Amino acid sequence: MRGVITTTGGVDLWPHFRGVFAEDAPELTVFQREDISDPAQVDFVFTFIPPDDLFEGMTGLKAIFSAGAGTDAIMACPSRPAHVPVYRVEDADQALQMAGFAAFHVLWHHRDMGRYVAQQGRGEWGRRVIGLSPAYRRVGVLGFGHMGRAIAKGLVGLGYPVAGYSRRAPEPVEPGVEHFHGDGLDVFLARSDILVNVLPLTDATRGLIDAGFLSKLPQGAALVQMGRGGQVVEDDLIAQLDSGHLSGASMDVFDTEPLPQGHPLWTHPKVLVTPHVASIPERRFVVRAIRERLSSL
């Protein structure tokens, strides 16, 4: 099969992946877009932020692969053939990275680690607290696909009462996880002391996490935002933090990336900012996942 690797949107995929395709999937021949003389002969595309005209003339296209967990830029591309399936990266390694990242931030908020960091800066020993058992801190995982399931499984292993929410009932159910779907969102939110968001960005999820949404979380809840930029109304989040309804937030994705200098999230005392690093695809795992998917088409 013949594939195109794009280098658009500031994501230079070609130098990082061409050698890995040659070593791990030699039956797949990959090209840069400018090296394709006949787009009709392209079987698959590997991209992240495609140019508007990328898919023009690709009448034989069988699959489109995202270089990351998100597919929103691909889905919005005006030349994308609607009948061609779009696959996000869902390899086991990325799921483990996401699960570890989520566990870190759940522990950060549960154990109030920001307070200890501030105390260290002041040279202050501080006081010990009681009631730290994970059994008393309920975690909700918003979005229960490949990544959400791995996150929930990891948190169950740490002893947290975990619930997951998805549009439809998951198949199969995850042992030890309380499942909510459909119209159960409000009940799910009301029992989530720490909410981990891993939803994809769609028309339904854009701006979803606003003041009304956040107000349905318990008093003192925390947000771990690992989904996509554009889902959290950032001004509403700051207002909920300032009012004391939320105790903290971890933000890994944002409306505008890089997060602009001077943005209030940078210096908010209840916010931990990371630069979109919840998972970084390992090239060999990505190529092997593409190879496996193509072999089934």
The catalytic residue positions are 228, 276
Assess whether the previous peptide bond of 26 is cis (omega < 30° from 0).
Answer: no
| 89 touches 289 (CB < 8 A) | yes
Question: Helix H segments across 111-209?
Answer: 113-121, 146-157, 185-190
| 9-14, Cβ contacts within 8 angstroms, sequence gap of 24 or more | 9/48, 9/49, 9/50, 9/73, 10/49, 11/48, 11/49, 11/67, 13/46, 13/47, 13/48, 13/67
Measured CA to CA, the distance from residue 142 to residue 139 in angstroms comes to 10
The helices-and-strands tally (H runs, E runs) of the chain is 10, 12
Kindly give, in sequence order, each residue whose CB lies less than 8 Å from that of residue 178, ignoring residues fewer than 6 positions away: 161, 162, 163, 164
| 71 touches 46 (CB < 8 A) | no
Measured CA to CA, the distance from residue 269 to residue 244 in angstroms comes to 12
| Structure-token pair, residue 59 | 């009448």
Question: Helix H segments across 136-219?
Answer: 146-157, 185-190, 211-215
Measured CA to CA, the distance from residue 62 to residue 131 in angstroms comes to 54
| Structure-token pair, residue 238 | 């700051």
| 291 touches 277 (CB < 8 A) | no
